[in-house]
Amino acid sequence: MAVEKMSIAKALNESLRKALEQDPKVLIMGEDVGKLGGVFRITDGLQKDFGEERVIDTPLAESGIVGTAIGLALRGYRPVVEIQFDGFVFPAYDQIVTQLAKMHARALGKIKMPVVIRIPYAGGIGAVEHHSESPEALFAHVPGLKVVSPSNASDAYWMLQQAILSDDPVIFFEPKRRYWDKGEVDVEAIPYQLHKARVAREGSDITLAAYGPMVKVCLEAAAAAAEEGKSVEVVDMRSMSPVDFDGIQASVEKTRRLVVVHEAPTFLGMGSEIAARITERCFYHLEAPVLRVGGFHAPYPPARLEDEYLPGLDRVLDAVDRSLAY
């Protein structure tokens, strides 16, 4: 065992470093990823150690970044692309949706698209517009893409390497407000499967399913609920495409209640899909309808309102109470 305590940011940095070391075909691309080490310093020091040919500062053009990453992948490289903030992925959305996602299918499986797109996402850092959004459903909806998000340092470390090893395009959402959270990383462990959900806390009365930044909120809610004698299980979904429905189902069959929590608007969000599928799969187990806690059908608000907008402990506990009241 080689366990180290590190922040999520550091874990991602170490993970990229290892990927660059292990495979000369791995490239890092994006805005400010070189000398600056990215605006969140996730690529800190990598250009210094691996050179400008491997860690590439690109022109400020997201469509160009993803489009050329596709070309590099066609040529046998494994580009890991950084989009600076969630709201800036949309100039690249066309390339991602119309090209990246479909290439493998169009080529009858002859072409692989090992492109990872890292996106610092979601809110809670007091930022201006376009810096706090949760567009995961827009990507999970697209066949051909895989979409994942780590919630802790160990997952950050391992999931990123697994994403880079994947021959499919992976949209890798990084919960930016958790970058500085520390956790233990066993750098030699056999990693959890990339698309498998993980029970983050055991419980018997109700299941909370979440991913990325909301896992921590759910764990805190579970701890608070425990003081009131409620036993809450927290499932960290880890992957939004594919979703480990078996993992969620197993938990729901035990607790018979489910609340899905995310920051993104609930309308047509991840929670909607999970509610629908789990209702199909567990209809006779459920004691209450699957509830969702998430954002509103409104633009992400200015920073001074984000505490109200973002699901916090109270809103999660309120949903727990509502579910238990059935």
Ligand X SMILES: Cc1ncc(C[n+]2csc(CCOP(=O)(O)OP(=O)(O)O)c2C)c(N)n1
**Residues 69-108 vs other proteins: string with x where CB under 8 A?**
------------------xx-xx-----------------
Q: Are 232 and 201 in contact (CB under 8 A)?
A: yes
Give yes or no for residue 93 binding ligand X (CB under 6 A).
no
**Rounded Cα–Cα distance for residues 57 and 37 (Å):** 10
Closer to ligand X by CB, 59 or 229: give it. Answer: 59
* Most distant CA pair in the chain, distance: 60
Q: Please select the residue that binds other proteins; options are 7, 17, 36, 272, rule is CB under 8 A.
A: 36
Give yes or no for residue 276 binding other proteins (CB under 8 A).
no
CB atoms within 10 A of CB 326: 11
Closer to other proteins by CB, 148 or 290: give it. Answer: 290
Closer to other proteins by CB, 70 or 237: give it. Answer: 70
Q: Residue 197, CB half-sphere, CA atoms under 13 Å: how many?
A: 27
* Piece in contact with other proteins (CB under 8 A), picked from 15-23, 163-171, 279-287, 300-308: 300-308
Give yes or no for residue 37 binding other proteins (CB under 8 A).
yes
Q: Please select the residue that binds other proteins; options are 51, 276, 296, 326, rule is CB under 8 A.
A: 296
Question: Residue 54 corresponds to which tokens in the numbers above?
Answer: 């491997």
Long-range CB contacts (< 8 A, 24+ apart) of 45-50? Answer: 45/13, 46/13, 46/16, 46/17, 46/20, 49/17, 50/20
Catalytic: which of 104, 130, 131, 195?
A: 131
Q: Are 29 and 115 in contact (CB under 8 A)?
A: no
Using CA atoms, how far residue 145 sits from 65, 87, 112, 198, 240, in Å, is 17, 19, 12, 21, 10
Q: Are 8 and 118 in contact (CB under 8 A)?
A: no
Q: Which does 58 bind (CB under 5 to 8 A by kind): other proteins, ligand X, none?
A: other proteins
Q: Please select the residue that binds other proteins; options are 18, 25, 104, 130, rule is CB under 8 A.
A: 130
CB atoms within 10 A of CB 281: 16
Using CA atoms, how far residue 28 sits from 37, 98, 145, 220, 222, in Å, is 11, 22, 19, 35, 38
Q: Is the dihedral of CA 153, 312, 39, 66 positive or negative?
A: positive
Give yes or no for residue 191 binding other proteins (CB under 8 A).
no
Give yes or no for residue 269 binding other proteins (CB under 8 A).
no
CB of 134 to ligand X, least distance (A): 18
Site for ligand X in 46-75 (CB under 6 A): 60, 62
Give yes or no for residue 132 binding ligand X (CB under 6 A).
no
Give yes or no for residue 129 binding other proteins (CB under 8 A).
yes
**Rounded Cα–Cα distance for residues 245 and 22 (Å):** 33
Give yes or no for residue 133 binding ligand X (CB under 6 A).
no
* Piece in contact with ligand X (CB under 6 A), picked from 84-92, 115-123, 137-145, 283-291: 84-92
- Active site annotation includes 131: yes
Q: Which residues are catalytic?
A: 131
Contacts with other proteins, residue ranges (CB under 8 A): 31-32, 34-37, 39, 57-61, 63-64, 87-88, 90-91, 126-130, 267, 296-299, 301-305, 308-309, 314-315, 318
Contacts with ligand X, residue ranges (CB under 6 A): 31, 60, 62, 84, 88, 91
